[in-house]
Structure 1
Amino acid sequence: MRVQHRSDRAGISARAVTRTHTRRRPARGDSDGTRRRALRPDRGSTGARHLTGSPETPGAPTPAVGWFNLGGHVSDLANALQKGAEQAAEPHGLIPAEIMLLAACGRLEECTASQLAPLLPVDASRVSRLVNGLVERGLLRRRRIRSDRRLVMLRLSPEGHEVTTAVAAHLDAYYARLIAGLSEDQMRAFAETAQAIAANYEEIRDP
């Protein structure tokens, strides 16, 4: 039975994104009597503000894309997904990284640990430890290739299928609550925006 897991599409591993808010305050006067404006973090702010200029001032400089606000939205969403993953994994005595590994293995049906590594937000040594733990718990099975004993294939055990199916059902219900009230057009716009940002990142990362 092949398990389709939504967590890999939404990303259940959260990375910390620091949200910084700024506000302007007068700086001390210069020697010629003029005064400059300075920026400092505003820990009490509830939303990102313009980095330069003023929206009320005609001809004010354009803000620097508002990446503070982008980071805040991404961080909030990542935290929400991480909490959902933790809630889904906890009843089975697992952590989100183990759930992601099981789901990826279920999609591939049979694979090696090296094939799983690029699909998970952890390094190769951590993947090896996760695999060992899941094999010991009976959720994964190993199979050595006769023609090359160094090659070890992994696949879900029946118990592993049961766990991933239960987790997927939990996450489906959780995600349905997260997007409650959003229209199809809103979801499509969100997906297109996220894909465009990810594509821009790929160009920046690999120019």
Structure 2
Amino acid sequence: MTDPSSTPSPEISAYQLGESVGYLLSRVKSTMSNLVTQRSMAELGITSQQGSILFMVASGKCLLAAELAREYGIDASAVTRLVDRLEKRGLLTRVRSNEDRRVVRLALTPEGHAIAAKMPAIFNGVLDNLLGGFTPEEVGFLKSMLRRVLINSGEQTGLTRDAASNFDSKS
């Protein structure tokens, strides 16, 4: 066990957490998620993750639990629990594929669609608040840089390096 009164090692003391891009990205993600949850709980009675999942299914981007797991970087059992909760609330259903009985697609109920349709306004409201004071050019540049980070990570964004650097502020 480490003595709590001991001083940190020189490596730890020298590392400036507030200057770490990873730390800052993590804090921004956490802050956005918390703010979206505050609004979505108050307005819709769901968490940001639940609302985001409903939106992803409604948009057609993620129609399988495995796609949600990849998109959110969480394990399949966590997705199963999230889908179970949403299904229990009557917001989505599991539909077995007619072509391949092993495939189970996710489909929104009318109430799930109604909630998913309200999520963009919540997402945009939170981002408008967080990006207050940024010019449209700065927002475009931030998005371009984030797309390049995803490309560098090997994420499948549908963008090439050249396309990511050519986006204007309205993208």
Fold match, TM over 0.5? yes
User: SS of the counterpart of 1:149?
Assistant: coil
Instruction: Tell me whether 1:41 sits opposite 2:13 in the alignment.
Output: yes
4+ residue runs over 6 A deviation = none
Instruction: Tell me whether 1:186 sits opposite 2:138 in the alignment.
Output: yes
Does the CA contact (< 8 Å) of 1:110 and 1:155 recur in 2?
Answer: no
> Percent of aligned pairs with the same residue?
26
Say which one has the larger Rg: 1
Partner of 2:29: 78
Structure in which a larger fraction of residues adopt helix: 2
Describe the superposition over 1:107-153 as per-residue Cα deviations: whole angstroms up to 9, x where unpaired.
11882322332122321111112112211111002222345433322
Partner of 1:134: 86
The higher-RCO structure (CA 8 Å, 6+ apart) is 1
Among candidates 109, 113, 116, match of residue 157 of structure 1: 109
Cα gap change, 1:131/1:183 in structure 2, threshold over 3 Å: closer, same or farther?
Answer: same
Q: Offset at 1:40?
A: 5.3
- What's the TM-score, normalizing by structure 2? 0.69
Q: How many residues align?
A: 145
User: SS of the counterpart of 2:80?
Assistant: helix
Describe the superposition over 1:145-168 as per-residue Cα deviations: whole angstroms up to 9, x where unpaired.
345433322211110011122232
- What's the TM-score, normalizing by structure 1? 0.59
Pairwise CA RMSD: 2.9
Unaligned ranges ≥5, structure 2: 1-9, 156-171
After alignment, is 74-83 or 141-150 more displaced?
Answer: 141-150
Q: Offset at 1:90?
A: 1.6
2:104 and 2:145 mapped to 1: Cα distance? 40
1:104 and 1:41 mapped to 2: Cα distance? 42
